[in-house]
Structures are given as structure tokens and as C-alpha cells.
Structure 1
Amino acid sequence: MRADKMPGSALPVEGSADFSCAAVVVAGGASRRLNHVPKASLSDGTSTLLDCALEAVATASPRVVVGPESLPLPSGVLRTREDPPFSGPAAAIHAGLECIAADCERSQTPAPDWCLILGVDTPRIAPAVQQLLAAAREAERAAGFSPADPEASAGFWGVSEGIYQPLVGIYRFEAIRSVFSTGTTDASVRSFLRRLNPAAVQMSAADTADVDTWEQAQALGYTTSLWSSY
């Protein structure tokens, strides 16, 4: 089932009419521990990992998937690719952010205030995404929150059982775009995100469980690949 046809597991954020948030889904990795089977293609018989990621960020606009041309995407979802391909998630985030900026320029719409960053391999991530959206909304309301303050946090990232989740986060769009503007090829995502001083959002290990190996795919029920390569 395609992401734009799935029943809504990601609920709209209450009072979010004036809250603008885009999303970058990183979906073009080499999947070496899966024998190069594309993670995005893995299905539980109903939805692929790509479907799950797009549904989790369904309230974001625009949504950008960073991955190859062969990825099947719903109407309205943007696509781009890191340059060069397979040069890592930091390069993919850079490509996704620049795609959002270019799309806003083309459509003559303001850039979003916030941007979700999500990997494609966390099928149960929707509740965690809602936590991130709630944290960002609260930051908007909080007295004294100033993105211009160098000591202030420019976003939030997930932490599960003491482990930071660099591909589960939400950040001020202009701040993260600036940080990821150069030097991202084959670089560490965390090294860039730390410059944003992100605040931690505690998350359930069940929500953030990811698929890096066939054992993890089996445990989560995503074992059927719907396409064999990129």
C-alpha cells in the first residue's frame, strides 16, 4: 500500500496551523549489512519501510526523499540524490535541505521554520515523530526561546536507552541548512548536528527500532523486498 493511501498513523499536531515544517527522508544508503538489498523496499506485506517513513512525516510540507530515481514515490513528494551517490547520510541531508530551499524558491513560498530529519529504516517511528513535533511547537511558544542565541538549542534529536538517534530529529530549517552547507561527503552526521546544540527527546526503543541487518528485519517483520536494487 502506498504511503499516500495508508490510514493515518501520524496524527496532525494540535494547533499547528501556523507551524511550518518540512521533512527529509534519507533513503539511498548502500545497505551493506542487508547484502545491498534496498532498505526502502522491505515490506511487511502491507507497507514498505519507505511507506512507513513517509506516513510518519505526512503532516510535513514539503517532503523530500533522498534516494535514486527508481524509488516509487507518491504524488507531491520531492526526490533528490546526494552527490556523489552513496556518499553518506550527511551528504544526503545536505541534498534534501537544498532541494527544499529550491522548491520554496520555485514556488515563491517562505522556507519552513522547521525540518524533520528521518532515516527510512524505522518502521514504527510515527509516535516518536509526534514527540519531536510537540517539542518544536513548545519551543515556539516558550518565553525567551531565541534561535539567534548561540547558546540556545536549534532543534531536538531522539535518544533511546541512552543512544542518540542522529536520523530522528527536528531542527530549525535555516540553522540546519547552514550547518550542513559544506563538507558533508562521507562525513559524520553527529559532527554537524552537535553544532546545533540539540536538546534530547527521550523515546521508546520500540518506536526507534531500525532495520540494519536481516535479523532486525525479521524481528520487525519487514523481510520481503519489493525491488531488488537501486
Structure 2
Amino acid sequence: MATAGMTDPRPTFGAIVLAGGNARRLGGFSKGDVEINGTTMLTSVTDACQKAGVPADNIVVVGHAETELKRTVEDPPFSGPVAGIGAGLDHVDADRLFVLSCDIPFIASGLPRLIDTYQGEGVCFGGEKAQYLAGLYSSDALRNRIGLLQQEERGLIGMPVRKLMESLDVTILGEHEAARDLDTWEAVNEAREQASED
């Protein structure tokens, strides 16, 4: 139990959920608004954040998908995920930030693992390649790196997430079913069939 004059060592958590982009593989349909078993993928992700201990008022959705939570849009719109992360940072205040894409609706079971394995400046799931948009990161590290990248000639527009994250001390875990992204209609339909069977 904490005593008077002592600070609580437990970290605080926030979340930036990216729900923008052109969703070309979905024919331009908003990924966040796609439903799996009656729930939008965006809602599944934001609900997972809250179950993992992120206060609802410390979650920001970046993009145009429907949500009752805080929402912002990168400037200019559709300028990429790094610009989206930069825009989201203005609306959250925490020691550690989940940075998640909206098309990983089964992430709830993976967030506790990210919390438990956190070290250095962050941790994310992997597989064939690092899934940087299924990770938990140091807020200070993200803010510092974004600040440096904004000074480059093109700024954050069109910048790949890899360029933001590779310079950080990020632990890349193995592949995890919870981080499976549904960015094609084939993947969405498979997930819908799986959900109906469950």
C-alpha cells in the first residue's frame, strides 16, 4: 500500500487507434466500420483497450470511423499512419501508449501480453514482419522521435511506420493470433465465419 509522500510506480496507459487510410483492399470501405459478429472492428479495439486498463478519455481515434470516443484526423487527411500517430499524441497523456490499427478486432487477448512483456521503449507483435501497429510504447520516446521527424523536409506525410519505430528500442515478439489484421474482404469473411461458429 502506498504511503503519504510516495509516488505510485505503476505506469499510466493511453491509446492511439488508427482508423484512417484509404482501405484500398476493402474497396475504399472504412475499415473501422466493418462489423464482425455485430460489432465494428474499431469498437472491438477500443473496448479491448478499456478492458486492459486504458481510461476511455485517454483513447483517441484517428480517422473518420464512427466512435463515441475522442477523435481527430491527421493533417492533411490520408497522409499516413505516422502523421496519424503525431495527431493522436496531442490528445493522450500517459506513460505508455498502445498504438493500434483498427483492423485487429481480436487484440483483447494480446494487450495483457504487451503490458507484461514491456521493456525498453516498447514492445509489439511480429511474425513475418514487425506489427508496429499492434504495440505498446513509451510516450516520451514516441513524442521525441515524432518531434525529430517533423523537422525533416517532408515532415510526417507519407512516412512509413518503420521509419518511426526502428530507431526506438522496441522488442518484437512472435506472431500472435490476437494481432491478426483483417485488411481484405477475404480475411473479414473468414473472421465472420469463425465468430459465428464460436
Query: What TM-score do the two structures reach when normalised by structure 2?
Result: 0.83
Identity %: 31
Alignment partners' CA distance in 2, 1:188 and 1:44 = 28
Alignment partners' CA distance in 2, 1:27 and 1:177 = 20
- For 1:7-46, list aligned pairs within 5 A: 18-46=10-38
Alignment match, 2:86: 94
Equivalent in 92, 115, 124 of residue 97 of structure 2: 115
- Measure how far apart 1:72 and its partner are: 2.8
Determine if the alignment matches structure 1 residue 217 to structure 2 residue 188.
yes
Alignment partners' CA distance in 2, 1:87 and 1:176 = 18
Alignment partners' CA distance in 1, 2:167 and 2:184 = 30
Equivalent in 160, 174, 180 of residue 188 of structure 1: 160
Residue 167 of structure 1 aligns to a residue whose secondary structure is strand
Indicate if the aligned counterparts of 2:33 and 2:66 stay in contact, CA closer than 8 A. no
Indicate if the aligned counterparts of 2:117 and 2:123 stay in contact, CA closer than 8 A. yes
Residue 215 of structure 1 aligns to a residue whose secondary structure is helix
- Measure how far apart 1:39 and its partner are: 0.5
Alignment partners' CA distance in 2, 1:43 and 1:17 = 38
- Measure how far apart 1:203 and its partner are: 3.7
Name stretches of at least 5 consecutive residues in structure 1 with no aligned partner.
Answer: 1-15, 101-110, 140-152, 223-230
**Root mean square deviation of aligned Cα:** 1.8
Alignment match, 2:48: 56
Equivalent in 137, 153, 174 of residue 171 of structure 1: 137
Equivalent in 184, 195, 199 of residue 171 of structure 2: 199
Alignment partners' CA distance in 1, 2:132 and 2:123 = 10
Letter in 2 for 1:123: P
Residue 195 of structure 1 aligns to a residue whose secondary structure is coil
Indicate if the aligned counterparts of 1:159 and 1:200 stay in contact, CA closer than 8 A. yes
- Measure how far apart 1:44 and its partner are: 2.2
Residue 39 of structure 2 aligns to a residue whose secondary structure is coil
- For 1:64-143, list aligned pairs within 5 A: 64-68=60-64, 71-74=65-68, 77-100=69-92, 111-136=93-118, 139=119
Runs of 4+ in 1 over 4 A off after TM superposition: none
Deviations, residues 11-68 of structure 1 (Å, cap 9, x unaligned): xxxxx98320110000011111111010111112421101111011112130010012
Indicate if the aligned counterparts of 1:117 and 1:169 stay in contact, CA closer than 8 A. yes
Alignment partners' CA distance in 1, 2:96 and 2:91 = 15
- Measure how far apart 1:177 and its partner are: 1.3
Deviations, residues 132-161 of structure 1 (Å, cap 9, x unaligned): 11123xx4xxxxxxxxxxxxx31111113x
Paired residue total: 176
Alignment partners' CA distance in 2, 1:72 and 1:212 = 18
Indicate if the aligned counterparts of 2:60 and 2:72 stay in contact, CA closer than 8 A. yes
Name stretches of at least 5 consecutive residues in structure 2 with no aligned partner.
Answer: 1-7, 194-198
Alignment partners' CA distance in 2, 1:180 and 1:129 = 24
Alignment partners' CA distance in 2, 1:55 and 1:32 = 26
Indicate if the aligned counterparts of 1:128 and 1:203 stay in contact, CA closer than 8 A. no
